[in-house]
Amino acid sequence: MNINDMLFADGFLVNFNGTSKKQVLDELSKLAEKKLKINSRTLLENLTKREKLGSTAVGNGIAIPHANIENIERCFVFVSTLSTGLDFNATDDQPVDIVFLLIAPNDNGSEHLQALALISRLLRNKELTTKLRGCKSSESALAVISQTIREEAA
């Protein structure tokens, strides 16, 4: 499993001017609907239910919201960097400005967990998160992620 295989060049909201967690999740859900032909409202409902169980903010300004969805065959990731950090109820009380949305097949829990672990491990790289925060385009954000993955694999 490789994060690059889960990303789309046009699956990014870079320097997004979101005003709430709900708005960010809604915009990412709409982006996923366009790419995956899934219902954005259903995805948003699933994400909201998951957030009610506990925040998906993992600290250091990063959140990894995730949901399982019917009618997809593998995991997909959509990414947003935010122009201003938002309250995601993080345990470290830091505002979130990097969001990696993971969408996984409804019937494959192990793939979902593997993808979460890969994303979490990737986002522990402080150089990556610093570079992502400075990106001004989807292309540059994708390039930063791809380069980091290549370097870590070497």
Contact 43, 31 (CB under 8 A): no
Asked if residue 8 lies in contact with residue 28, where contact means CB atoms within 8 angstroms, the answer is no
Q: Angle 96-99-105 (CA atoms, 0-180°, nearest 5)?
A: 140
Strands annotated E in the chain:
12-16, 57-59, 62-63, 66-69, 76-86, 96-105
Instruction: List b or e across 31-48, with b for residues whose CB sees 16 or more CB atoms inside 10 angstroms.
Output: bbbeebebebeebbebbb
The residues carrying an active-site annotation are 66
Q: For residue 76, give the 3-state DSSP assignment.
A: strand
Between strands 96-105 and 62-63, the pairing is parallel
